[in-house]
Structure 1
Amino acid sequence: MSEVITEIDTVVVGAGQAGIAMSEHLTALNIPHLVLEKNRIAEAWRSGRWDSLVANGPAWHDRFPNRHFDAHPDSFINKEGVADYFEKYAQQFNAPIRTGVTVNKVTRNRGRAGYTVETSDGIIQAQRVVAASGPFHRPIIPAIAPTTESIHQLHSAHYRNPQQLPEGGVLVVGAGSSGVQIADELQRAGRDVWLSVGAHDRPPRAYRGRDYCWWLGVLGLWDAVTKEAHKEHVTIAVSGARGGETIDFRRLAHQGIHLTGVARDFDGVNAYFADDLQNNVRLGDENYLSVLDAADAWIDANGADLPPEPAAREFMADPDCLLNPTLSLNLAEQRIRTIIWATGYATDYRWLEVDCFDEQQRPVHSRGVAKENGIYFLGLPWQSRRGSTFIWGVWHDAKYIADQIAIQRSYAAYGEPAE
């Protein structure tokens, strides 16, 4: 085993938006710490996204409080611009980040306080560990995926551009923000595209002159701390592409994308879909209209001078694929050569060998404070509020955790001689 290379109060694992926010608050409180990152700063934005990705929120909103983007406030920043932003942000307070360092294992010390952090660069002794790697660790491809070698399959995390794929049609499974944007890009590039649509929320990109992010703010929904029933893991279809646009499945169908219900099975020749497309689209419409209703009510109650937008409530005619849903699809006959699985991620904390997880290996915590003293999580969905996984939200969650660490340090220092 490698010799101990350093002792530090707090180790932060991950140098994405969560780790950088954590480091800023620890720095402000003069808490000695190290941020360990196995790749580069904000690597997920650079290499874990497709080439044309932009942020789903406008630049004025999706940022940390202490630095603006070098762009128009209403623009949607491309992925390289977001990664550069985090690099510059870390530089402005000299964040103690070590890149190219993988954390292999974290274990609680026996008979003494703190944790042993085994890394690719040696061992670190730390009093506290913050897992700031967020929730998107391991791409999920469902067990129903066909095993035939004639179909090229990849997760949306590994999709880059249309030229990457073999010739032929593409089936995109999953109609959240990633699946919809990838399907749209492929269809615009001349591919025949099928899009499997499950249950989703479909908010307006903007309404009555204000972006959806603004509406969530004035309606008090960003700071909602209670999840709606059955909406813990709801799929949200929203896009910042081409200057920002509302996802409209009818428009996508009229544009040429073939919509289906949820993919439920493959037999090597055919794909089979649930007969739920109409209901999924209907419920998405209801969600969309509920946002408009809430916005209208707020405008009336506050006398806001925002222009009416009656066209926002007008829907295109139902396309044939919605009226006569496809329940089975012969992949060969339709020349479908690729399946892209936009089916989300699972967490992977195998390196964190502590008693902080439930039976499904999900972190057990209260606002990021784990049940095992000295362990913290950051960047999780609904960690403290609806906005916790967004750039600004993770910054506020990091401040809370840093304050808890400072409180624990003050108790530990009780009775020690004054310097």
Structure 2
Amino acid sequence: MTTESTDVLVVGAGQAGLAMSAHLTKAGIPHIVLERSRIAERWRSERWDGLVANGPVWHDTYPGLEFPGFGPDEFVPKEKIADAFADFAKRDKLPVRTGVDVTSVHKNEGSRGFRVETSKGPIDAKFVVAATGAFQKPIIPPIVPESAGVLQMHSTAYRNPAQLPEGAVLVVGAGSSGAQIAEELLKAGRKVYLSVGPHDRPPRSYRGRDFVWWLGVLGKWDMTTPAEGKEHVTIAVSGADGGKTVDFRKLAAQGMMLVGRTQSCRDGAMHFAPDLARNVEEGDANYLSVLREADAFIARNGLDLPEEPEAHKIGPAPQCMTDPILSLDLKKAGIATIIWATGFSSDYGWLKVDTFDAKGKPKHQRGVSTEPGIYFLGLPWLSRRGSSFIWGVWHDAKYLADQIAIQRGYMAYRGPQH
């Protein structure tokens, strides 16, 4: 079988892979993008039906990515996001091949580059970009045994309330996905329990500006590492219903039962940490700190933005905070479904090169790995806080394309001419 060759092989045709391809194309660097399914597949088949972008159009985009029919301050539904990526690739004639699974990547010993084995045959590439992102392998903690008699699913498998059996629902995880799914179920008339861990809770908007604008002007998108102790803290924010602030106190007032972090399941009962009040209060403190920083920025720069005193008022603590539920019998509570909104782990089993630490995390600096010729793109905090967002990955891809161009330049040098 003839082995195809290319300069750069990009694995994954989501927001990261397409951004990488666009920059490589602009730089005139030959490359191929391989995608095991469809372009932007995770937006289509691994998200719930009602999901919309968590940022407005003017911010959640990159150059040339268009969302017909949506204004700059609107939040785009997931299918339209996937359509926009597919249109972007088609319009710019990006060299994307769909339905091709990459099974392994090995270093070519004694010669340049890597041998990439795929479901459609081998490819030799001088450089390989792993653009599969961070959301690869859903995590369901091994807490609740199958014998508990409840349906368990990860948030990636949830589609809509009608999909679930009759009965109450426990949602574990109160980041953006968990909070939005729990509220959707509550609106559908379900009894909902939401397990709330540590989180940041920014305002959706304040004084006429969306929170993505505030994070920008306050320099928070450019943070290069999370604050100490905040490495695994989720962000609760929602673009649903035109965009709104996630407020756990208000959700409790509407009938949602909040509990602390899920710890264990014994004899058919769930057990929760006594940390609900602290988690909610720390989320409120994060929310208020953004408002104070925003007020200071407005005053310092003389901006004419309307005051919003009501935004600073925190509602009363609901009973579930003052008298927390520490144990919940699943049968007695009528819980028929547990949805685990507990994040993802990476899966680089196909990348057979020496660039991972003992825990399997990529070793890299701004996406440039310790294995020369291997690059990572789309990971949280790759270069800064915004790295895993649509607009952020565009800038990271530009940096990696530049690094590849630099290396190509070195390898093109043939030595002194005599």
TM class by smaller structure = over 0.9
SS in 2 for 1:264: strand
1:331-378 C-alpha deviation (Å, 9 max, x unpaired): 101110100000000000000000010111000000000001000000
Task: Tell me, in whole angstroms, the C-alpha distance in 1 between the residues paired with 2:409 and 2:99.
Answer: 33
Give yes or no for the alignment of 1:203 onto 2:202.
Answer: yes
What is the aligned partner in structure 1 of residue 63 from structure 2?
A: 65
Q: Answer whether contact 1:146 1:267 (CA < 8 A) is retained.
A: no
| 1:219-234 superposed matches below 5 A | 219-234=218-233
1:396 aligns with 2:399: no
Aligned in 2, Cα 1:149/1:226: closer, same or farther, shift over 3 Å?
Answer: closer
| Structure 1 residue 220 displacement after superposition | 1.4
Distance (whole Å) between structure 1 residues aligned to residue 364 and residue 340 of structure 2 = 30
- Displaced runs of 4 or more, over 4 A: none
Extract unaligned runs of 5+ from structure 2: none
Q: Residues 129 and 376 of structure 1 are in contact (CA less than 8 Å); yes or no, is this contact kept in structure 2?
A: yes
1:68-103 per-residue CA deviation (whole Å, 9 max, x = no partner) reads 422111100000110011111112221000000000
Residue in 1 that maps onto 2:27? 29
Q: Deviations over 1:16-50 (max 9, x none)?
A: 00000000000011111000000000000000100
Q: Is the 8 A contact 2:284 2:314 kept in 1?
A: no
| Corresponding residue number in structure 1 for 2:48 | 50
Does structure 2 retain, via aligned residues, the 8 Å contact 1:176–1:238? yes
2:84 corresponds in structure 1 to 85
Deviates more, 1:143-152 or 1:113-122: 143-152
Greater Cα offset, 311-320 or 274-283: 311-320
Gap change, CA 1:73 and 1:333, over 3 Å in 2:
same
Matched with 1:14 is 12
Question: Within 2, Cα distance between the matches of 1:383 and 1:195?
Answer: 30
State the superposition RMSD in angstroms. Answer: 1.2
Q: Structure 1: any 5+ residue segments left out of the alignment?
A: none
TM superposition shift of 1:233: 2.4
Paired position in structure 1 for 2:368:
369
Deviation at 1:416, TM superposition (A): 7.9
CA–CA distance in 2 between the matches of 1:209 and 1:273? 38
Quick one: distance in 2 between partners of 1:370 and 1:193?
Answer: 44
Matches within 5 A, 1:113-124: 113-124=112-123
Correspondences of 1:113-192 after superposition (within 5 Å) = 113-148=112-147, 150-192=149-191
Task: Give distance in 1, aligned partners of 2:38 and 2:225.
Answer: 35
Report the Cα distance in structure 2 between the residues aligned to 1:45 and 1:416, rounded to whole angstroms: 48
Q: Is the 8 A contact 1:76 1:240 kept in 2?
A: yes
CA contact (8 A) 1:4 1:125 kept: no
Contact 1:155 1:341 in 2 (8 A): yes
CA contact (8 A) 2:38 2:99 kept: yes
Amino acid at match of 1:19: G
What letter corresponds to residue 105 of structure 2 in structure 1? V
Distance 1:326 1:371, change over 3 A: same
Partner SS for 1:122? coil
Contact kept, 8 Å, 1:9 with 1:33, in 2: the verdict is yes
Query: Contact 2:224–2:384 at 8 Å: present in 1 too?
Result: yes
- Residue 338 of structure 2 corresponds to 339
- Counterpart contact for 1:147–1:268, Cα < 8 Å: no
Using the size of structure 2 for normalisation, the TM-score is: 0.98
SS in 2 for 1:160: coil
Tell me, in whole angstroms, the C-alpha distance in 1 between the residues paired with 2:209 and 2:63.
20
Distance in 2 of aligned mates of 1:50 and 1:126:
36
Q: Secondary structure at the match of 2:127?
A: strand
In the alignment, the residues of structure 2 paired with residue 4 and residue 395 of structure 1 have an alpha-carbon distance, to the nearest angstrom, of: 34
Query: 2:288 aligns to what SS in structure 1?
Result: helix
